[in-house]
Structure 1
């Protein structure tokens, strides 16, 4: 595999759908202390997410109890819980669903071994996502933003 990058070899990627949902939830978490709902257009503009797509994602997140909507002229979306109480795994599972794979009974030993290793890597990735709350992402955001230098 000469010349092949590790990122191409390990095809574990975050779907665009999950990435957009995580970005939208992070945007809501960043504005959480204000206590005011954010409109779809505002979230979409801040995170470069297509409006229509974001509408669908927020509807899914609302159905799963991660966000709540407020109607009216000053309406929009808010986190349904505090940022420390929402982890990234919940968001991804809400969008992607929980993956359940059935192992065929006629599976070879080699195929079973590969599936076992893949399941272990998936569990490790899930544990990382579970360990990160929206609050922790906000803290990392603030830390990173404070180290950015602007030059004129």
Structure 2
């Protein structure tokens, strides 16, 4: 199991939006792209997918852009990945009826691993990621006398 580039870019963009959530102002694609070093056109496609999935809302016009549909603490990493990658939808696709005892044992273990991974992804929200980032920033601050 590996985090796709698409998912990583989307999470980075959403962290940026979560950071600015309290301002109530929508963020423009070029602003997010510049802050997180994400190609504009690719980000535009990702944000459209997240909007269709209910993670984001958009506002048209000169002062338009995208903003989170819910509070950062109410958007789990699982929600994001499920929207982009379809985690729940693909969970049963691997359930090809195995003809052997060995195959069924392997399938059971794979299902258990997937459930454990999903539990971890459901545990963390965008707010948690922002807090972890901020804590690491504090650790990296050096004081010189």
Q: Distance in 1 between matches of 2:128 and 2:114?
A: 22
Q: Is the 8 A contact 2:9 2:43 kept in 1?
A: yes
> Does 2:115 correspond to 1:126?
no
Question: In the alignment, which residue of structure 2 is the partner of 1:138?
Answer: 130
Q: How does 1:1-152 map to 2 (within 5 A)?
A: 12-97=1-86, 98=88, 99=90, 100-149=92-141
Moved over 6 A (4+): none
> Could you list the runs of 5+ residues in structure 1 that have no partner in the other structure?
1-11
Shift of 1:57: 0.8
In 2, the alpha carbon distance for the partners of 1:33 and 1:105 equals 49
Q: Which deviates the most, 104-113 or 89-98? A: 104-113
Q: Deviations over 1:21-48 (max 9, x none)?
A: 1111111101111111111111111112
Q: Per-residue deviation at 1:102?
A: 4.9
Moved more, 120-129 or 137-146: 137-146
The structure where helix makes up a greater share of residues is 2
TM-score (norm. length: structure 2): 0.90
Summarize the Cα distance change of 1:63–1:120 in structure 2 as closer, same or farther, 3 Å threshold.
same
Please state how far the C-alpha of 1:106 moved relative to its aligned partner: 4.7
Where do 5+ consecutive residues of structure 2 fail to align? Answer: none
Q: How far does the alpha carbon of each residue in 1:80-129 deviate from its partner, in whole angstroms, 9 at most, with x for none?
A: 11111111100000000131225333521111111111111111111101
| Coordinate RMSD, CA, aligned | 1.6
